[in-house]
Amino acid sequence: MSTIPTRPDFLIVGAGVIGCAIARELVRRRAGSVVVIDSGTPGAEASAAAAGVLAVNSSRSPRGALMRLKMRSAAMFPELVEALREETGIDVEYRTTGLLELAFDERDARELRAVVAKRHAAGEPAEWLASDRVREMEPSVAGDVAGGVFFGDDNAINNTRMVEALRVSAERGGARFLASLPLRRAERCGRRLVAAVAGDVRFEPGHLIVAAGLGSRAVGEIIDAKMPIRADRGEMVALRPQQPLLRTTVWRDGYLVPRNDGEVLIGATSGRGKTEKVVTPASLELLLRRAARMIPALAGAPLVRQWAGVRPMCTLRRPMIGPVRGYENVTVATGHHRSGILLAPVTAALIADSLLGAGSAELVAFKYKKKP
What CATH fold (topology level) applies to the domain 10-89+159-228+316-366?
FAD/NAD(P)-binding domain (3.50.50)
pLDDT tier at 63 (50, 70, 90 boundaries)? confident
- Which CATH code for domain 230-313? 3.30.9.10
Q: What is the mean pLDDT of residues 37-58?
A: 95
Identify the pLDDT of residue 295: 98
pLDDT tens digits, 174-220 = 999 999 999 999 999 999 999 999 999 999 999 999 999 999 999 99
Identify the pLDDT of residue 333: 97
Domain ranges of the chain: 10-89+159-228+316-366, 99-151, 230-313
Closest CA to 196 of 2, 12, 3, 1: 12
Note whether 99-151 and 230-313 share their fold. Answer: yes
Identify the pLDDT of residue 61: 86
pLDDT tier at 357 (50, 70, 90 boundaries)? confident
pLDDT tens digits, 137-169 = 999 999 999 999 999 999 999 999 999 999 999
Q: What is the mean pLDDT of residues 29-37?
A: 98
pLDDT tier at 238 (50, 70, 90 boundaries)? very high
- Domain range 99-151, CATH architecture: 2-Layer Sandwich (3.30)
| Average per-residue pLDDT for the chain | 95
Identify the pLDDT of residue 2: 72
Q: What is the mean pLDDT of residues 55-69?
A: 91
Identify the pLDDT of residue 349: 96
pLDDT tens digits, 264-304 = 999 989 999 999 999 999 999 999 999 999 999 999 999 99
Q: What percent of the chain has pLDDT over 90?
A: 92
Q: Is the pLDDT of residue 372 over 50?
A: no
Identify the pLDDT of residue 369: 62
3-state SS track over the chain: CCCCCCCCCEEEECCCHHHHHHHHHHHHCCCCCEEEECCCCCCCCHHHHCCCEECCCCCCCCCCHHHHHHHHHHHHHHHHHHHHHHHHCCCCCCECCCEEEEECCHHHHHHHHHHHHHHHHCCCCCEEECHHHHHHHCCCCCCCCCEEEEECCCEECCHHHHHHHHHHHHHHCCCEEECCCCEEEEEEECCEEEEEEECCEEECCCEEEECCHHHHHHHHHHHCCCCCEEEEEEEEEEECCCCCCCCEEEECCEEEEECCCCCEEEECCCEECCCCCCCCHHHHHHHHHHHHHHCHHHHHCCEEEEEEEEEEEECCCCCEEEECCCCCCEEEEECEHHHHHHHHHHHHHHHHHHHCCCCCHHHHHHCCCCCC
